Amino acid sequence: MNTILSVIALIEDSLPETLRVEQIAARSGYSRWHLQRQFKRATGMSISQYQRHRLLSLAAEKIATTEHRILDIAIEFGFESQEAFARAFKRFAMVAPKNIRQQPIWAKRLSLAERKAGTGTLRKP
């Protein structure tokens, strides 16, 4: 589990930029395939899915708590267009990004739950 926690810390430290799985594997000392299997077993999602969900949850928080344009937030979090961001956001949150504006409670509920160290259970942040 320490490996997974260190991978999560590495991902969190790099946000809003995303790291390629190969970069994460090289830094962890494990093969890409082994690391991906272990990560999925521990978290229930792939490394790429985790990074995407974290980006979208951070974007939701920024939308809810600032007056920045959604386009600017989309670009900040690595999306090429507002449309691509809106599609990904809707798949993630089941609601359009504009509906999160001024709704910090929604953004908080969209954040990923944190795993308790050494268990497969989730707890709310």
CA dist 85 and 68 (Å) reads 15
Question: What's the CA gap between 92 and 112, in Å, rounded?
Answer: 11
Query: With contact defined as beta carbons under 8 Å apart, do 48 and 20 qualify?
Result: no
pTM: 0.78
pLDDT at position 1: 62
For range 30-54, the mean pLDDT: 95
For position 115, what pLDDT does the model report?
38
Residue pLDDT, tens place only, 55-106: 999 999 999 989 999 999 999 999 999 999 999 999 998 889 998 887 767 7
Higher pLDDT, 103 or 48: 48
Please count the other Cβ atoms lying within 10 Å of the Cβ belonging to residue 52. 18
